[in-house]
Structure 1
Amino acid sequence: MRLIWTFLFALASSTVFAASPEDDYIAARDKAIAAIAAQESANTDIETIDAQNEKALADLQQRLAAILGPLAVKDFPATGAINIESLNASDIGFGMLDGLRYSQSENGPSIVASTRGLTERWLKSKAAEAEADLRLPTGIGEALKLDNFYTQAIGSDAAFLGTLDFALKKPEGADIAVARLGGWTQDIGPIYDQHVVVTVVKGDRVLIAEATASPAVPKIAACDSIWAAADAAAQKAQQADQGSDQDDSSDTDAANAVWEKGDADYRACMGQRLPSDPAFPALLKQAQGLADSMVSK
């Protein structure tokens, strides 16, 4: 009898503590990252490292496909490619959100799908970043309000800067729905190529859709004037610094401060004035349509 109870207890324990598919995925990902880091430290040739990186990404993509299953959103493919672009910490695209990206075309609308569990683990890792600029809150709802979430989760070589948040009607069945208008940039100043980014959390799924704003976000003269004035003032300060014989960075710092304030004031102006523009209802409709499509059956 004691032997039987011991066997049953061992069986129950193995069931309780069995690793989940998400646990297995994280373990495989971290093992691959460590192996590539070791190769870099050993000065392994880049071709070998790249081959190992591609092999590991393919394995992780299969694991994510098994976790997520096929995507069922109208006009999007059922299968996706891994969202992470590299497992090499030296590469652009390292550390992106664990998930799959489903794209209509190379430059068309896309959806990044993850699970609540994977997203929460990813946010926890970002909250522990050594650099303050990279840290994110651990709560999904709070993180979705920040430009830096989208920069790190679905971007690779550019930063996301938000213009405004849409007053979205939460689709039935969704736990969280956030829609933002913004653009990707490597510089400071107006971003005329704006995108609609919509995130829906429903049950265990986190879906982030991105599409070029349609219609295109119009230029607003009053806002452009704010940026033009700031740009002129900053360039004047920068030229004064370059013409000075003194090795003093104070003028350069002043120029950068003017640019940064001008950029912030420009985006604030757009956020205030755009909702009154004739193009805005169509932009809101686009955002709402993306949100609704991600929860429809």
Structure 2
Amino acid sequence: MDGHRNSQSNARGIRLKLEAYLNDVDSRVAKYVNLTLISLIIISVVCSMMITVKALPDEYRDIIKTAEYMFASIFLVEYLIRIFSAPNRLKYIFSFYGLIDLAAILPMFLFGSNETFALRLVRTISLFRMLKLIRYTRDVQVLLNSLSKSLMIIVMLISGIVLLTLIGGNVIYLVEPENFDSAFDGVWWSLVTMSTVGYGDYVTHTLAGRIVAGAAMIVGIVLFAIVTGLISSRIFEATRIYERVHCRSCHASIERESNYCSFCGIEKPDGSFKQKAVSDLE
């Protein structure tokens, strides 16, 4: 009985260590482990891109295909370890990152390394594995947490841009049907014009068309500037919050570069204002 409990305790201890090695952003071991995994992901993506070069000699192509199997095997082991160490295994398996991990390795073993659409698809999916960097970077988590507070405003602004793009596309098709094959082409022109990218594949020729184009430019500049300004302000706010510290005398949250606490007036001795305001990040 005691031996069974000891074995369960040992297994639980191993699972906790593996979970910490993979997910603890403050652990030095976890940083090295995830840096290694990210490096392997980048190398595997570069190899996948190299194999698409038609002039690549066959001997190098075979080496890269072998390397792809090696990378897939490493990521398979990582996936199994993550399942073993996860507190809730089913939750991890069906989570966004769990599905991405599975989708990045499974087609390689199912379809092999033949140059098929399935293989090209899995190579593209493997890029999404780099999204896991969000988990391990505190700065990105702070930024996303800050942006989430303005998510509805951003969604409304983007929805407004989409709506005006559709309106502009249909209006320009109505004004100059001879220059656009369909309203869909007009929508593409409207998006390019509003974003001020200006590919030049579609150009207005009439006075009415130029009036519509001018209105689309002005509206696009205003709306895109609002979105950019909102995101920039949130980034600045997140950075300022992250850089705030606690006064060890009155525990007020103050700016790191302050020489005096603005609440209790105490002068900043060496190291007195160094603690980060973790509560402000939640």
TM-score (ref. length: structure 2): 0.32
Q: Which has the higher helix share?
A: 2
Higher relative contact order (CA 8 A, sep 6+): 1
TM-score (ref. length: structure 1): 0.31
